[in-house]
Amino acid sequence: MNRRDLLAMAGALGFAPGFAARSALAAGDPIAARDAYLYALPLIEMATTRARLLKAPGAAVNKLTHTRALSDHTARWVTTPNNDTLYSPAFLDLTKGPVTLVIPPMGKRYYSAAVMDMFTNNNVVLGTRTIGGEGGTFTLVGPGHASTGPNPVRIATPHAWLLIRVLTDGGEDLAAAHQAQDGFKLSGPAGGPVAAYAARDAKPEDYFATARALLASDPAPATDLRILRRSAAFLGAGPYDAAAAADGVQQAKMITIFAKGRQVFTGGWAYPRPTLGDYGQDYIYRAIVALQGLGALPVAEAMYLKAAGDDGAGVFTGDGPYRLTLPAQLPLDGFWSLSMYEATADGQFFFTDNPLKRYTIGDRTAGLKRNADGGLDIWIGRADPGGDKTANWLPAPKSGPFALYLRAYLPRPELVDGRYRLPPVVKV
């Protein structure tokens, strides 16, 4: 059977396009290079974020640092930040033994402490939803180590990212939120030195060398053996053809930029896949989220909904005004917010500067004008809509493409399973 017959059979079995089932992939096959690039992208993005965070004054491995202000247009340390919670990140090194996390009593204030392995899977989310507001002490344990500490939590890779979110309304509430942050404690063996790694825009040979180094530091699970064998020329010992590598990397970058066929918009919104935050073998989705929303929580904790935009694929290019009309209460047990992001050329999203210094509108935003039924009209555009509409204006960038994301924390089952759908954003 020749290669064309193998590909035809793969298609008939439903394995193509995407990560096609092939009995053999030569080191000169750009498809193998494409798949290898996408598979390794979450590792690359995690390493890049770790390096960026460790440059902050006082930052170190196995040490919490606290952001004391809500993210604004100057925040560029992670794509699609939120403007609802204060972050307290720490990159973990569990190679020398477990690390202890103390969570203080939080009362009714929303919080989450997510621990992601280096493949960006949420191994655990300790927070309002899972352990309540009383706090506790937890022992984070890496592969190959035992734990005699309280409440052991097994982490899938020797290195990981702890990302704590603490809800605040800002302003007068910041002091109390800072006190809550300070109650989180992290202790354990000092982390080892962190090597320098190439970023996603590196030359293919440097990218794949970094991917191999990261896989040696944080081995893949056995359930990924199939793709690792298929991409062994690029993610393993090699060798591989340089031209095929360059071609495959270019294909992969186009996938991450356009994400064609991977986002389905229903009624004007793209809803997250059930695998968000714990991806299994959905490697393309995992890669796209690593680029566009690194650190995303699983859907049981939060849903990230993207508006379809003018192009039907998630990007707005018009001046507006646009309107989003929401009911008085969305089906959730937490809170919601609609965030405005300027879109970068490489597919990432960041808050945009604006005259109101307003980056989100949500159910906790002060001064909003509600309709007679308690519902809310949110006005979106580059220019102030004027009059009473100004109170509900979410400013868009002065120029260039932008995107809208709605976050729904602690969503109820009808939102998670699709029985409830958001109304669309409409051009007025």
Please give the share of the chain, as a percent, with pLDDT higher than 90. Answer: 84
Mean pLDDT of the region 43-61: 94
DSSP 117-182: ETT--EEEEEETTTTTTS-EEEEEE-TT----SSSEEE-SSSEEEEEEEEE--SGGGHHHHHHHHH
- For the stretch 81-124, pLDDT in tens is 999 999 999 999 999 999 999 999 999 999 999 999 999 999 99
Cβ-contact 224, 40 below 8 angstroms? no
CATH topology of domain 265-427: Jelly Rolls (2.60.120)
For 67-81, b where at least 16 C-beta lie within 10 A, e where not — what string? beebbbbebebbbbb
For 137-160, b where at least 16 C-beta lie within 10 A, e where not — what string? ebbbbbeebebebeeebebbbbbb
Closest CA to 254 of 38, 58, 44: 38
> Looking at the chain, how many residues does it have?
428
According to DSSP, the β-strands at 85-93 and 349-350 are unpaired
Q: What's the rounded Cα separation, in Å, for the pair 119 and 96?
A: 20
Mean pLDDT of the region 206-221: 98
Q: What is the pLDDT of residue 390?
A: 97
For 185-203, b where at least 16 C-beta lie within 10 A, e where not — what string? ebebeebeebeebbebeee
Mean pLDDT of the region 196-200: 95
Please give the share of the chain, as a percent, with pLDDT higher than 70. Answer: 93
User: Taking every pair of C-alpha atoms in the chain, what is the biggest distance, in angstroms?
Assistant: 71
Q: What's the rounded Cα separation, in Å, for the pair 346 and 291?
A: 9
Cβ-contact 66, 181 below 8 angstroms? yes
Q: What is the pLDDT of residue 332?
A: 97
Q: What is the pLDDT of residue 26?
A: 54
The residue ranges of every structural domain in the chain are 24-47+196-258, 55-187, 265-427
- For the stretch 275-309, pLDDT in tens is 999 999 999 999 999 998 899 999 999 999 999 99
Q: What is the pLDDT of residue 398?
A: 96
Q: Is the pLDDT confidence value at 17 over 90?
A: no
Q: What is the pLDDT of residue 22?
A: 43
Mean pLDDT of the region 406-413: 98
Mean pLDDT of the region 22-44: 84
Q: How confident is the model at residue 262 (pLDDT cuts 50, 70, 90)?
A: low
Quote the mean pLDDT of the chain: 91
Q: What is the pLDDT of residue 190?
A: 87
Q: What's the rounded Cα separation, in Å, for the pair 81 and 348?
A: 11
CB atoms within 10 A of CB 166: 26
Q: Judge if the upstream peptide bond of residue 321 is cis by omega within 30 degrees of 0.
A: yes
Q: Please determine whether the domains at 55-187 and 265-427 fall in the same fold group of CATH.
A: no
CATH of domain 55-187: 2.60.40.1610
- For the stretch 70-80, pLDDT in tens is 999 998 878 88
DSSP 81-97: --SSEEEEEEEEE-TTS
Mean pLDDT of the region 124-134: 98
Mean pLDDT of the region 339-349: 89
Q: Is the pLDDT confidence value at 9 over 50?
A: no
Q: How confident is the model at residue 181 (pLDDT cuts 50, 70, 90)?
A: very high
Which of the pair, 22 or 74, is modelled with greater confidence?
74
Q: How confident is the model at residue 4 (pLDDT cuts 50, 70, 90)?
A: very low
